[in-house]
Structure formats: structure tokens, C-alpha cells
Amino acid sequence: MDTITSAIRRPRDWQPSQFIRLSIGLHLVAGGFLVLRPEGWPLALETLALDHLILASLGLWPKSKGLGPNWRRLPFDDAFNNRVALTFDDGPDPIVTPKVLDLLDATSSTATFFCIGERVLQHKGLVQDIVARGHTIENHSHYHRLGFACSSVRGFVEEIGRAQEAIAEMTGRAPRFFRAPFGFRSPLLEPALCELGLDLVSWTRRGYDTRERSTQRIQKRLLQGLSDGDILLLHDGHSAKSLTDQPVVLDVLADLLATLREEGLQGVSLDQGIPAFMNDNDAHTTGASES
């Protein structure tokens, strides 16, 4: 298989968000103002500093759509309802991931695993097991660096593209979706995702299971207000230890899956919940709501 070819998805046209358009316009106006009135540079500088502060705040808000499209829920579909998307980040983990797969199998649930590229290359057999059991693997960057968001467009393309190639090589399928490490991003990420043909996904609710040890508190965050179309975020990699000193995600997932069954909700993967032809803007014309 030609790994590079198999990792390439059809590029999307970059459509700057309304806020990005306003920001670009503000920079142009500030430039013209300085040409006409150079002495007014303090005002121009303060205005642009405020603009960049707002941009940074939007980048630190994982569920924001101010920087571009961002799937936060599954689109509404009359034909297929009572679905909750189960997503797991930071794997694969040779200890935790197999146990997560067993729990999912026991309830006939499917899930999406946002995997780190270098871990995919380290655990080929585990990656193939995830796919063989009916789940999908999506892109979570190649290295998952803390400073991931502080990159250029080319830097984003290179790192995300490298993970794209690694996943395609191990699974034979190029990811459709991308989730930013820690949920942080910049205005330069969306143009890179467009070039790679990827869609950004965040979540409806998360349990903070990388730092929270109490299964009860995690479950409350995930289950309070839970409804059809929610995208849930858990971690099979970097999971915190519970008070019984085992990965907290395992206790949480067992109870979560039991609750979903009791409430008539089915755990699904993102590709089952988001049709390939649909983009994020369509979600708002099909009745999806944000909780």
C-alpha cells in the first residue's frame, strides 16, 4: 500500500469564520489608520492586542466555533436517534485499551479512538484489534505536545499529516476527524485541517478522567443532562487512577454503558453518527442543539 496516498483525503475549501473575517478586516483598518495617522499607533496597538487576546481565548475554549467548524454534537437524524458518540483520547494504551474494548464488546457498543500517531506505530497489533472489533481510529496529532497550538499552518500540516500517514499505514483507512491535543488550537489550525481534508471534533461533555480520581464525580459530569446526540470524551491513554488504584476510565465506562442501556441509548462511533457527506454547518439546519 502507498501509505502517503492512502492518507490523503479530499481537501476542503477554507471558509474563514465570521470572527476571523472581522479580525482580518480589523488588521487592515488598523494598517490604514497608521498610514494616515502614524501618531495614533498606541490606539491601533491596543485594538490589535485586544483582538489577539480574544483569538487566544477562543483557541483555549475547546468547544468554540469562533475559529472555524467544530463538531460538538451529532447531527439530528429522525431515522437514527437515541445515539451517544463514545470517544477515547490519547491511546492506544497496551494495558487500558484492551479492557476498554472488552467493555464495549459486552454491550455491543462502538466507539471512536483519537490516537496519537507515535503510539499507533508502537502498538500495531492493538491498533488492528481496535479496527477488527468494529471501532474507528481518528487523528489526535503525532506527538501530543503541550505546545501543539503554537504552530504555523505548515507545522500543523506536517504533524497532523504524519499521524494521518501512521494511522493509514496501520489500519488501511485515512482518518476523517481530528481532535486537538488538550482541545487547544489557533486560527491557523482550520486552514491546515482543510488542506488535509479533516474535520475538527470536540465534545458535548467530558469527565476530566485524566486528573479526577472519583468515579462518582466523573459519572456526574458525563451523565447529568445526557441526551441523544451527545459526544462524550473519555481517555484510554493517560487515565487517572481511581481510589482503588486502577485506571478510573474502566470503572466509569462500565457504569456509563450500563446507564446508556437502561436509558435506551446506544454508544456509537463518530462515523456512524456523522454522515460522510455532511459538514459541521449542516448540523444547525438539521435540528441539532448544543447543551
* CA atoms lying within 13 Å on the CB side of residue 225: 10
Rounded-to-integer distance, Cα 215 and Cα 218, Å: 5
Residue 235 annotated in active site: yes
Distance CA 24, CA 234 (A): 36
- Of 257, 227, 7, the closest CA to residue 109 belongs to 257
Q: Which residue in 235, 251, 271, 280 is the catalytic one?
A: 235
Catalytic residue among 89, 90, 230, 236: 89
Q: How far apart are CA 159 and CA 280, in angstroms?
A: 23
Residue with cell 456523522: 274
Hey, what amino acid is at 83?
A: R
Before 92, cis peptide (omega within 30)?
yes
123 classed as catalytic: no
Residue 286 grid coordinates: 438539521
Distance of CA 234 to CAs 93, 136, 230, Å?
13, 15, 13
Buried b (16+ CB within 10 A) or exposed e, 212-224: beebeebbebbbe
Sequence-distant (≥ 6) Cβ neighbours of residue 268 within 8 angstroms:
83, 84, 85, 86, 109, 110, 111
Residue 167's contacts (CB-CB under 8 Å, 6 or more residues apart) are: 7, 115, 117, 120, 127, 137, 138, 139, 173, 174, 175
Active site residues: 89, 235
